[in-house]
Structure 1
Amino acid sequence: MSHKAMTASSGSSHNKGDGNSRSSETKGGKSDKEGYTELEKHVAFFDRNGDGIVYPWETYQGFRAIGTGRLMSAVAGLLINMGLSQKTRPGKSFSPLFPIEVKNSRLGIHGSDTDVYDKDGRFVESKFEEIFKKHAHTHQNALTDKEIQQLLKTNREPKDLEGWISAYAEWKILHALCKDKNGLLSKEKVRGVYDGSLFKQMEKERLDLLRHK
């Protein structure tokens, strides 16, 4: 997913891209970036100051903003940035700050994935629909935990342990954060994480809730 998901994820690189990327103007540090691909929007949510770079503490802040606990947010900030930093900075020397370059997000796309993002990080509608056609057997527009397990198993590529782990972590975190009271992960939520809109929406809902307490 990130990502894909998740985000931005620390997945193994298929490196679906050549390292060159168009420039995109950043505006204010959230994920409403003009000219960004869907994958870049997903990653840019964690770019809290809008400078095009995501540091581990920003990943932590992003996860906290959507309601994730301190421990999980800290672990995510460490592992995601360690996994993606060098992949998104081709030709650059190692940095102990583990920065992720938003414009090169596509270079972190990992194996054993759904292919909902193409090699440039753009959303592929047909691949997204395929997830639910193949795996949503109980409910047409939602996935159960068991169906997610089957999806992960189906997408596994031989000898791709890093990709398996990344995909598992992404889907499990997404399910934990976004499942409904019946344990279902809705199609709308999955689409949101892929198109870069979900985390921004979750942050807004959380802030609204806190204001009304």
Structure 2
Amino acid sequence: MQTCRPPKVPLQTKMAAPSENTLSDTIRHTVPTASNGDVTANPTTRKLYNELGKEINRYPQGKPYNVAIDTVPVTIERMPYVPSEGDKLVDPGTARATIAADNQHPNGTTKDNWAEKHKSKTVVQQHCLYFDQDGDGIIYPHDTFIACRKWGWGIFLSALATFIINFNLSYPTQSGWLPDPFFRIYISNVHKAKHGSDSMSFDNEGRFSPQKYEDIFAKYDKGQKGGLDWTDLLRFHRGQRMAMDFFGWSAVFFEWLAVYLLLWPDDGLLRKEDIRRVFDGSIFEYKAQEHARKTRGS
């Protein structure tokens, strides 16, 4: 795991030398470390901080709010997405019920008319549709297994994925208190399976939040590559963890591991658009068809 190093120069060097009256404040405002934030961790953030200095406390300029303060360096290290003039994405903080929108795709997935075809489903339900192989609104373990096999995953990996998914997500989606002995997942209640320590791109009702999705890349895409590599994912996992949320930590780890195995980028970079299409599920069938084409061509 990449270790964040404390900056060589304390934050206070950008201000005038402390006087006797301000010494206590200076002592209290400690140099950032790996535990409370590192303003040098991301070259984009470091460049912005070097340019603005103390004015970082009033960033973004011209807005009636600020997103960072130098006394809490982690707010500088992990800058949220800040809408710019002329952005295509309108009201990014408002969750969308049926489309996974981002700044590049404000209308969600229009390829193959995906968003229009599935406008009766929330985004989190769309995310699950591929696994419902017979279209009955219920994901049986054998549905999950077949869906994974269609991606070219081996028997062991598909069985492991089936166990993790159905064992953990079945009970929250039940209508009653008793667990389902067949570990079925009901798509109508899949919003109940939301867990903590993730990106929060899905809200508790299954809607998609563009602001939270954009935040992933604003905070963790080191160098603005247009995607996440494995070091970014480790920083994401550490940065999103909630206290004592062991289930959430584990779930996030396995979810993003599965995304990496599914997309398997040659250069190790998970593209922002591919990840967005994972959220609305539109890429799942595409990857199955891609594997089928490769199998026929071999």
Q: TM-score, normalised by structure 2?
A: 0.59
How many corresponding residue pairs? 183
Alignment partner, residue 117 of structure 1? 202
Partner residue of 2:225 out of 124, 130, 140: 140
**Deviations 1:18-67, CA, capped at 9 Å, x for gaps:** xxxxxxxxxxxxx9644111110111110000000001111111111122
C-alpha RMSD of matched pairs (Å): 1.6
Contact 2:174 2:180 in 1 (8 A): no
1:177: which partner in 2? 262
Distance 1:176 1:51 in 2: 27
Matched, 1:74 2:159: yes
- Partners of 2:227 and 2:186 lie apart in 1 by 32
Question: Which of 213, 220, 223 is the equivalent residue of 1:128?
Answer: 213
Q: Contact 1:106–1:119 (CA<8 Å) still a contact in 2?
A: yes
Gaps of 5+ in 1: 1-30
Mapped partners of 2:184, 2:261: distance in 1: 26
- Residue 190 (1) aligns with residue 272 (2): no
1:94 matched to 2:179? The reply is: yes
Q: Which amino acid aligns with 1:119?
A: N
Partner Cα separation in structure 2 for residue 154 and residue 118 of structure 1: 19
Bigger CA radius of gyration = 2
Aligned to 2:193: 108
Percent identity over the alignment is 33
Show the 5 A alignment for 1:156-167. Answer: 156-167=241-252
Q: Which residue of 2 aligns with 1:150?
A: 235
Q: Does residue 60 in structure 1 map to residue 145 in structure 2?
A: yes
Q: In structure 1, give the amino acid aligned to 2:194.
A: I
Q: Which residue of structure 2 aligns with residue 8 of structure 1?
A: none
Q: Which residue of 1 is the match for residue 296 of structure 2?
A: 211
d(CA) in 2 for partners of 1:79 and 1:98? 11
Corresponding residue of 1:15:
none
- Matched residue type, 2:263: C
Stretches of 4+ moved more than 3 A in 1? 31-34
Is contact 1:112–1:157 with CA below 8 Å preserved after alignment? yes
Question: What's the CA shift for 1:92?
Answer: 4.9
* CA distances 1:172-206 after superposition (whole Å, capped 9, x unpaired): 12113213211111111110111221111111212
Distance 1:98 1:107 in 2: 15
TM-score, normalization by structure 1: 0.81
Instruction: Answer whether contact 1:132 1:140 (CA < 8 A) is retained.
Output: no
Letter matched to residue 108 of structure 1:
A
Q: Measure, in 2, the Cα distance between the counterparts of 1:178 and 1:196.
A: 13
1:168 pairs, out of 244, 253, 258, with 253
Counterpart Cα distance in 2 of 1:92 and 1:203:
35
Alpha-carbon displacement from aligned partner over 1:120-174 (angstroms, at most 9, x marks no partner)? 1122111111111111114431111011000011110000000000001111121
